[in-house]
Structure 1
Amino acid sequence: MNIQRFIEKRKARGLSQSELAKGICTQVTVSRFEKNGQVPTLKILIQLCNRLELPLGELFPRVGIKQPEILEKMEEAEFFLITSEHDRLQTILKNIPFDEIKDSQLLLEYYYLQGFVMIFQNASLMDCLFTFEKLLFEEQKYTSDIYRLLAFTGIGMAYAKEGEIEKAEFYFNKVFKEIYLYTIQSMEDTWRVLNVVFHCGVFYAEKGDLETSDALLEYAISICSDNHVTYYLARAAFQLAKNALAEEKPQEQILELLQDARAYAKINKNRILLEAIQTLKETILSKNN
């Protein structure tokens, strides 16, 4: 994101951070965005850009600071993982020339994305495990805790998909003990921590431990709030709604969670989740007829 363009436009209009923020957000929100790259919610960002008469698209330029083509493809692929568009994710990975990946960080990201898409596309257990083993092997060179936790999460998910719950729980327990202590260092880090926390929450929900699941999903929502991101908010709220349904909580509470999930899913243009939300809502309401 071209934050420098945002800063230049604010200064050109003679606005301080406080003047720009007035009536929209706090001065601290603008400061965090400009200094630390902490992106506010889409609604706030649009309002700030409108006040500056700055088209939002200018923050996402095709020109400017050049990024390697592979890195751009990886970032796009990771977004499709967030929005559950696994076919599009797999297409991007297939078009990345693997032999040209020389950077250790990019190789870690490739294995992590490949492992997760293999789970969702029902690859064999052994193939999934082998991919995550490669991730763990590469992680030892780079020493990145988040990729190790992503690998453990993926291995747990792969075992759970095969019904091997005891093995799955071994890995999820390892993640559960460490993820609360992990310090988020970047926006990309935020996405990956949310990936881990969310899928841990889903696992414990499917296992029937709704109390643990609810705690993890609420933690995911607090991470989103603290870091001003909306990704995974919709999925966390939707899973909380499913948990509430299983716990036989009041229908009003469940529908409120679904409404929250729908609002966030619309912001993120998560078409697949919007369809799932509508289906569950119709199922709940049909029971009243």
Structure 2
Amino acid sequence: MNIDRFIEARKRMGFSQSELAENICTQATLSRFENQGQIPTLKILMKLCTRLNISLGELFPKVEVENSEITKKMNQAEFLLITSEYEQAEQLMTAIKLSDIEEANTWLRYHYLNGFIMFFRQRPLIDVMFVFDQILLEKEAANTEIFRLLAYTGIGMIYSRENEDEKAEFYFNKVIEQIYHYPTKNTEDTWRVLHIVFQCGVFYAHIKELAISNALLTYAVTICSDNHVTYYLARAALQLAKNAITTNEPEETILELIYDARAYSKINRNQIALKELAQMEEEVKCTKE
């Protein structure tokens, strides 16, 4: 209960405690509310708020009202990040004011989402690095482990894009050492672990460590299966197909992976993946002819 907001309104209206309490409650009741936090009956509280021309809702913590809308936008943005709809995700995040965020873990989530969306939207990498560094420098928030792992992943991706593969591998190794032991407690945790494992798999495919890449991507598929999450199945199967092409696997093996990825993409309505898969299938069939 935001009692300070109540007292501020009383003083702004020029009421003493006894004047505000007149014909509503005793001055002692009002004093116990303001000084000791002893809340009167709802009927009395509503009458006092009406006299002060404020709503009862204004006395509840502001952060809860703000974060309900902020959390809703972040949930949508995080889902769009998973489905590669980066432009729409960016629009949602742009609508959130950082100054409106008061809870530390929401602040960390804001930066994690912004960092990856900026990366995929081809924003300057020095700006993206700054976003991830803010996560790593945060000391006050509780339950920061998953956000630190996401920041390490993001920094690894930055170095990989800059063709600094040794530096990138340093960060991806830090992630892999810990991610297998991270306990997922909710859907968002599962999404984040999948995001990390998938991006690690993509990096190791990039540096031609395909055995490691395949192990990570297979692990991602297992997570999806165990948690009944389909959003990363298509992307993991797509990368496995790319790896199979690189290692010159038989055509039937590659096409099976492509068809699996297509089925998952149709379920998730991932048009970006479907377009890439159609092109891959055509190239594979042409190459083998």
Q: TM-score, normalised by structure 2?
A: 0.75
> Which residue identity does 1:190 align to in structure 2?
T
> Which residue identity does 1:143 align to in structure 2?
N
Segments of 4+ moved more than 6 angstroms: none
Q: TM-score, normalised by structure 1?
A: 0.75
Could you tell me how far 1:150 is from its partner in structure 2?
0.3
Deviations 1:221-279 (A, max 9, x none): 00111111111010000000000110110110111111111111111111111111111
Q: Would the aligned equivalents of 1:111 and 1:135 in 2 still touch at CA under 8 Å? A: yes
Q: Distance in 1 between matches of 2:144 and 2:268?
A: 28
Could you tell me how far 1:67 is from its partner in structure 2?
7.5
Which has the higher mean CA deviation after the structures are superposed, 119-128 or 87-96?
Answer: 119-128
Question: What is the percentage of aligned positions where both structures have the same residue?
Answer: 51
Q: 2:145 — aligned with what? A: 145
Q: 2:42 — aligned with what? A: none
Could you tell me how far 1:128 is from its partner in structure 2?
1.3
Q: Distance in 1 between matches of 2:255 and 2:139?
A: 42
Matches within 5 A, 1:134-173: 134-138=134-138, 141-173=141-173
> Which residue identity does 1:84 align to in structure 2?
S
Q: Is residue 68 from structure 1 mapped to residue 68 from structure 2 by the alignment? A: yes
> Which residue identity does 1:273 align to in structure 2?
A
Q: Distance in 2 between matches of 1:202 and 1:195?
A: 11
The verdict on how the C-alpha distance between 1:140 and 1:281 changes in structure 2, with shifts beyond 3 A counting, is farther
Q: Distance in 1 between matches of 2:67 and 2:119?
A: 29
Q: 2:223 — aligned with what? A: 223
Structure 2 unaligned residues grouped into runs of 5+: 1-65
Q: Would the aligned equivalents of 2:204 and 2:213 in 1 still touch at CA under 8 Å? A: yes
Q: 1:194 — aligned with what? A: 194
Q: Distance in 1 between matches of 2:254 and 2:138?
A: 43
Q: Distance in 1 between matches of 2:108 and 2:67?
A: 18
Q: Distance in 2 between matches of 1:183 and 1:158?
A: 26
> Which residue identity does 1:272 align to in structure 2?
I
Q: Distance in 2 between matches of 1:94 and 1:251?
A: 45
Could you tell me how far 1:105 is from its partner in structure 2?
2.0
Could you tell me how far 1:118 is from its partner in structure 2?
1.5
Bigger radius of gyration among the two = 2
Q: Would the aligned equivalents of 2:132 and 2:155 in 1 still touch at CA under 8 Å? A: yes
The verdict on how the C-alpha distance between 1:262 and 1:140 changes in structure 2, with shifts beyond 3 A counting, is farther
Q: 2:77 — aligned with what? A: 77
Higher relative contact order, structure no. (Cα contacts within 8 Å, ≥ 6 residues apart)? 1
Q: Would the aligned equivalents of 1:139 and 1:147 in 2 still touch at CA under 8 Å? A: no
> Which residue identity does 2:72 align to in structure 1?
E
Q: Would the aligned equivalents of 2:105 and 2:144 in 1 still touch at CA under 8 Å? A: no
Q: 1:234 — aligned with what? A: 234
SS in 2 for 1:142: coil
> Which residue identity does 1:82 align to in structure 2?
I
Q: Would the aligned equivalents of 2:156 and 2:171 in 1 still touch at CA under 8 Å? A: yes
Q: Would the aligned equivalents of 1:266 and 1:274 in 2 still touch at CA under 8 Å? A: yes
Q: Distance in 2 between matches of 1:288 and 1:218?
A: 26
> Which residue identity does 1:178 align to in structure 2?
Q
Q: Distance in 2 between matches of 1:213 and 1:236?
A: 10
Q: Would the aligned equivalents of 2:105 and 2:141 in 1 still touch at CA under 8 Å? A: no
Q: 1:205 — aligned with what? A: 205
Give aligned pairs, total.
224
Which has the higher mean CA deviation after the structures are superposed, 189-198 or 143-152?
Answer: 143-152
Q: Would the aligned equivalents of 2:251 and 2:288 in 1 still touch at CA under 8 Å? A: no
Q: Distance in 2 between matches of 1:67 and 1:230?
A: 28
Q: Would the aligned equivalents of 2:159 and 2:167 in 1 still touch at CA under 8 Å? A: yes
Matches within 5 A, 1:176-191: 176-191=176-191
> Which residue identity does 2:86 align to in structure 1?
H
